Structure 1
């Protein structure tokens, strides 16, 4: 195997890193598309109401999905577009209110936010995905790609799995 060309420059390395970030960004698009499709398939099976069980009811899971889909999609966009460099911790107070909504409404809200996030992710460049926000009082720095991968998509996938298990 030949070694990299000795003429490989810093600019070449930057282009290579951009290719890797773009490849990962498109993988995130695929994951979000699949999770969104699963949600669209599961949503019609969810009954209204919060129930009396200790764990979240399927409708409460949908409410949480609607909140995280909006919040973390917006956060990914704001970080990537350079509009946000510091993040204030916010609690999920909207989830309790949304749990009173009909499942169909919650699914529609989440899917609409997924479409907006997908549009942003498809069009974002590598520099946008590398932009950072300071969280947790400066203890942690996250890139837009991290928020999309972990807080939005990974989090969504976990709760779609939870919803699927709850529905049997």
Structure 2
């Protein structure tokens, strides 16, 4: 039986369809926003992967993220893949129709990505083919989604260039 990939899925989306191929048959540790979401998420994760546990991390702050990264590493023994697919919405097409909450959520997601990578990299480097996968939201097209898409593209390219020499691959999905 092949070894299961140890996957960290922070801020897991409620719909796993977009990331199912990434996490399929892996050993997954997740974080989600609340305990009500956790039970359903664990059930759905176990349908496509092996759920090894998770925790509630509602905020994208260092104080909330760091303990979840440590819990993941302790639960899995290592982090081989970080799949970042926060659930984001981008309502409104024209600039004047944009919703401030959506813009704030997208900028918080960028900060969350930065802090997750800073915290998780020590648990990834030196591992077997470590990888960070940033999943771009689909079906959204406005200034907010364009800003987020451009930022994560730049982050992925820059991090991949820097971390390649350490064996860490960073890519978009």
Between 1 and 2, higher relative CO (CA 8 Å, sep ≥ 6) is seen in 1
Larger Rg: 1
Q: What is the TM-score with the length of structure 1 in the denominator?
A: 0.29
Q: What is the TM-score with the length of structure 2 in the denominator?
A: 0.28
Identify the structure with the greater helix proportion. 1
